[in-house]
Chain A
Amino acid sequence: MTESSSPKPTTRRAFLRGAAAAGVGAAATSAAAATPDPLITEVQPWAQGFGDPVDETPYGLPIRFESDVIRRNVEWLTADTISSINFTPIHALDGTITPQGCAFERHHSGAIELAKEDYRLMINGLVDTPLVFTYADLERFPRENHVYFCECAANSGMEWAGAQLNGAQFTHGMIHNMEYTGVPLRTLLQEVGYQTAGKWVYVEGADASSNGRSIPMEKALDDVLVAFKANGEALRKEHGYPVRLVVPGWEGNMWIKWLRRIEVSDAPVESREETSKYTDVLEDGTARKWTWAMDAKSVITSPSPQSPITHGPGPLVISGLAWSGRGAITRVDVSTDGGKSWQIARLAKPGEKMALSRFYLDIDWDGSEMLLQARAMDDTGYVQPTKNQLREVRGLNSIYHNNGIQTWWVRTTGEAENVEVS
């Protein structure tokens, strides 16, 4: 292995914290303790006095020791923080359900406050009767529950030209995965009596950006949900309260928040968000449009740059996420040598369609350097490509839909870095 240049003497917080913890960990896992542990031999305050009463926290936040498990933004990515993005701390999460409070946000004119009383949903266009629904109306239609991932089309987009941001949160954190409750869009389209000439629906939000997108009728009638609950409770303001669209497997931009209007039409609108944006420039200067589905993808969340190995050699849990917008994850392979050889990882449970899957590979780390990679496969037979394989087809300027294999360089110290390999 060669280094392209020596590292700059910049942030080393995670590294230092990791190194310190590694010392403690090494002692704790040694064969025998030299002296009795005062955390055991001395009565601790929490074992003696009271904890908080039940009326302390009507709606709780995580304990303060978890204060680094938060959304982060990257200032230089956008002109301002109103039409911008932040990132889910996937490096610190486990399982598959994203806590709503740290699930990423992407707005084009900010997170608006829209009360249920002020909410209206209009369905017009090629329908027998254009209708207006209140929020209360929507709660009277038969409901369904589904778990789906919402991945921004631009997730990993900053990495097209090479390794740039140092952490899974930043390279892969424009994603969340929630259990949604809502009404199938199909049900509402049937209620207004959509006409057979209606080949498309145009969906838009109540915010100033409107974020209008065109969706083909086949998808609208298939699995799109008009959702009002996520992970058991109302949507968060920043996720579209009180109603958003859920478009399983398709790029996050189409998951219209604060959904206010659905227009049935015989042609797509070709709105700003499907012409200027969310079109993918290829090497010859032409661009793909309507690249709706998010292809199979994975990332190792730990170890990773923000989640270094802190315990020294020995048993190590390699943990990560895999997902596909085309179906269910069937297998994830993990390499520790940069793709020379692969092992089949263990899925925590069978893959579910268009939802995050958690995978693990439990290894006995000998303390040597690793080049960690994960490779997802879905039930269509698609195998997650390398970044170079994608670049061969698309060039470097697609911005969106980067599902290439990620590499983490794990050092002997346990520190990890975002790198690209040959």
Chain B
Amino acid sequence: PALAGDFGLGRPALPEEIAAWNLDVRPDGTGLPAGSGDVATGEAIFAERCASCHGDFAEGVGNWPKLAGGEGTLADPDPVKTVGSYWPYLSTTWDYINRSMPFGDAQSLEADEVYAITAYILYSNYLVDDDFVLSNETFGDVQMPNADGFIIDDRAETEYPKFTGEPCMQDCKDEVEITMRARVLDVTPQTEEDAATA
């Protein structure tokens, strides 16, 4: 009862209202509803609801996000960041699918369907076997490969000391050469007027 205001505005939220909107799931599984789904069921739902953008094997279609693959590429020149290669927590996959997917028809999936789709994405990333059943009880058994891949913002230690102090004002370097030009790359959008002039 600390720090209560006293404007008397708003009204108490009802339990049904909180349940309808409070859907987020935390890394430790807090927020997960009871339910379950297996890989095979997930594959069927994925084919129907997800594969047109994300591919039959969650590998991505065209410019749409890849959900599987990219293991061991994070230090490569072009890292492939997927659920399997990059995402630290399984909770995020469940939570995001449940609230915001399919794109254009969000919040249309039942909890069991979300479990099944999540199981299939894990399978697509070779993280579980094809008979795996994901549930609110088995959720904690899954280890995400990049769980330890994140550090908390360390700019205060790694950058601030380098980027403070009185900067050079005169004779700061002997030579300046142009090393790269956007016009050579030529990927800036043009208007119809531009195109007509070109």
Closest-by-CB residue of B relative to A194 is B3
Write out the residue numbers on chain B whose beta carbons fall within 8 Å of the beta carbon of A270.
26-27, 88-89, 91-92
B2 CB within 8 Å of chain A: yes
Contact A130 B18, CB 8 Å, known A342-B168, A422-B177 = yes
Say which residue of A284, A287, A417 sits within 8 Å of B183 (CB atoms).
A417
Q: How many residues of A contact B (CB 8 A)?
A: 114
Among candidates A82, A285, A384, residue contacting B75 with C-beta atoms closer than 8 Å: A285
Using A2-B177, A131-B12, A286-B151 as known contacts, say yes or no to A164 and B182 having CB atoms under 8 A apart: yes
Interfacial chain B residues near A190, Cβ < 8 Å: 3-5
Interface on chain A toward B: helix, strand, loop, or mixed SS? loop
Q: State whether A267 touches B26 (Cβ < 8 A).
A: yes
Residues B24 and A269 in contact, CB atoms below 8 Å apart: yes
Per-residue contact bits, chain A 129-169, to B (CB 8 Å; 1 contact, 0 not): 11111000100110000000000000000000011111100
B20 to chain A, nearest CB (A): 9
A76 to B167 Cα, complex, angstroms: 38
Contacts of B110 in A (CB 8 A): none
Which residues of chain B from 127 to 174 have any CB-CB distance to chain A below 8 Å in the complex?
149-155, 158-160, 162-165, 167-174
Asked if A78 contacts B63 (CB within 8 A), the reply is yes
User: Hey, which chain A residues are within 8 Å of B107, CB to CB?
Assistant: 208
**Which of B33-41, B43-51, B79-87 touches A?**
B79-87
In the complex, the answer to whether B197 meets A137 with C-beta atoms within 8 Å is no
Residues of chain A lying within 8 A (CB to CB) of residue B104: 82, 109, 208
How far is A13 from B196 in the complex, measured between Cα atoms in Å? Answer: 9
**Contact, CB under 8 Å: A381 / B12:** no
Given known pairs A272-B95, A383-B164, the reply for A7 and B75 (CB within 8 Å) is no
Q: Give the tally of cross-chain contacts (CB within 8 A).
A: 301
- The answer to whether B181 touches A417, judged by C-beta atoms less than 8 angstroms apart, is yes
**A131 in contact with B92 (CB, 8 Å):** no
Most buried by B among A78, A166, A189: A166
Chain B residues positioned under 8 Å from A195 (CB to CB): 2
Q: With A191-B4, A196-B2, A341-B170 in contact, is A3–B162 under 8 Å at CB?
A: no
Beyond A187-B5, A270-B91, A382-B163, whether A137 also contacts B10 by CB under 8 A is yes
Q: Is the CB of B106 within 8 A of A422?
A: no
On whether A393 and B151 interact (CB within 8 A), knowing A7-B183, A190-B5, A341-B170, the answer reads: no
What are 6 A-B residue pairs whose CB atoms fall within 8 Å in the complex? A190-B5, A192-B5, A267-B27, A275-B89, A286-B151, A295-B159
Residues of B at the A interface (CB closer than 8 Å) are 1-5, 7, 9-13, 17-18, 21-22, 24-28, 53, 62-65, 74-75, 77-79, 81, 83, 86-89, 91-92, 95-96, 99-100, 103-104, 106-107, 149-155, 158-160, 162-165, 167-191, 193-195, 197-198
* A-B pairs, 10 with minimum CB distance: A285-B74, A285-B75, A338-B176, A191-B5, A131-B10, A193-B4, A190-B5, A208-B106, A418-B182, A79-B63
